[in-house]
Amino acid sequence: MEPKLAFRAFTLAKLTQCDYIEAVRGRLVTALEKGEGFEQLWNDIKGIAESDGATIKPGYWETVYRTNIQTSYNAGRRMQFDRSPPAALALMVLEDERTSDICRPLAGLVLPYDHPFWEDHWPPFHFNCRTTVRGIYEDEAGRVTSENVSMKKLRKEFHPQSGFGQNPIKSGTFYELTDEMAKRALHYGIMKDLKDFADHAGFKSVRLYNPDSLDGFKEIRAYSNGGKIYKHESYGEKQLPEERVAEDLAGSGKTVKLLPRSNLLLSPDLWIDGEIWEVKTAKGTENSIKEAFKKKQADKIVLVVPRDSLDTALAIAHKKANSGFYQKILILAGEIQRMITK
């Protein structure tokens, strides 16, 4: 397999595996805290991919698989055509009850290989798109008539879903991580695996999500003790709990970055002195602190509690650290900071 296609497939496999593990781990944490029996837990885990109540909805798995496989497949086809150019290209649209309104008008479209349409339009054209491209070579060219359709007409009639349809080879980035993929890879701690695979495959231009070098951060506050706060341009204007946490930590001399937000799944909140953390806030009761741990599963968390709840938070945090699910837990209770490691 061509190295860039292999990297795309490897990335898809790793992320999908981690998505499933994340869903299972969340269910396991809940079972342990409620003292549920193994049989019920096992039945839930077996059905977690099909359950409407799962973190990852049933259609998610098929959408991820189809969209990414089709992207890789069609990128590979484009590479083949560029190496051995055909006389024309034909869009192969599967026409049935599942055919989208985007692709249906394209059924049977045949255009010369050098038509400008192919420079900016290439399947998949939407999520779960099944359309592919077939090459028409000289021995078949006389039996298949290509059209001379103007780009003005094509652009008027054809509107792919946002984020789809670009020529993967022209953009040169079809194999790279999208913002959402990068955030998930960072969340799961598999960036090194992806980088090692890319290095082994012989190319080093994969854009890996690294808050220490990612563009788009702006310094918003500096403290006399050396502490600093940076905010990413896509963070948004809404005031979030982690901003207060950033102020407390930077005030104690740490460098903190407010990370880009992800709408797909729980995303990391803060970069603190080179490490990725998530922020949890609890009202202070034992139940609220336990509930805060349930909401997110991450290996480094900042737990914010009222000052008079510090002892309760410490007791629960020590148990969580000993469970093996968390590498570090930082408790903030007013001006008091306590670090707990497993």
Domains of the chain, by residue range, sit at 83-169, 217-341
pLDDT number for residue 332: 92
How, if at all, do strands 255-258 and 228-232 pair? parallel
The third-level CATH classification (topology) of the domain covering 217-341 is: Trna Endonuclease; Chain: A, domain 1 (3.40.1350)
Q: In sequence order, what are the beta bridge partners of 110?
A: 90
Phi, psi of 133 (to 5 degrees): -125, 135
CB 125, CB 165: distance < 8 Å: yes
- The DSSP secondary structure of 42-111, one letter per residue, reads HHHHHTTTT-TTSSS-HHHHHHHHHHHHHHHHHHHHHHHHHHS--SEEEEE---STT--TTTGGGTT-EE
pLDDT number for residue 176: 65
Query: Average pLDDT of each block of 10 consecutive residues along the chain (342 residues)?
Result: 64 72 69 66 62 48 65 80 88 89 87 85 85 84 62 78 70 60 72 75 54 69 93 73 89 88 56 84 88 73 92 90 80 89 78
Sheet strands side by side (includes 270-272): 217-222, 228-232, 255-258, 270-272, 275-281, 300-304, 328-333, 336-341
Output the CA torsion sign for 240, 241, 247, 253: negative
CB 15, CB 198: distance < 8 Å: no
Can you tell me the distance from the alpha carbon of 23 to that of 27, in angstroms, rounded to the nearest whole number? 6
**Considering all CA atoms of the chain, what is the largest pairwise distance in Å, rounded to the nearest integer?**
84
Token reading at 167: 């020529």
Contacts of residue 269, Cβ cutoff 8 Å, sequence gap at least 6:
240, 242, 245, 258, 259, 277, 278, 279, 302
Give the predicted TM-score (pTM) of the model.
0.43
pLDDT number for residue 222: 94
Token reading at 281: 């806030």
Contacts of residue 243, Cβ cutoff 8 Å, sequence gap at least 6:
258
pLDDT number for residue 225: 92
pLDDT number for residue 267: 55
- Angle formed at CA 188 by CA 76 and CA 328, multiple of 5 degrees: 160
pLDDT number for residue 19: 72
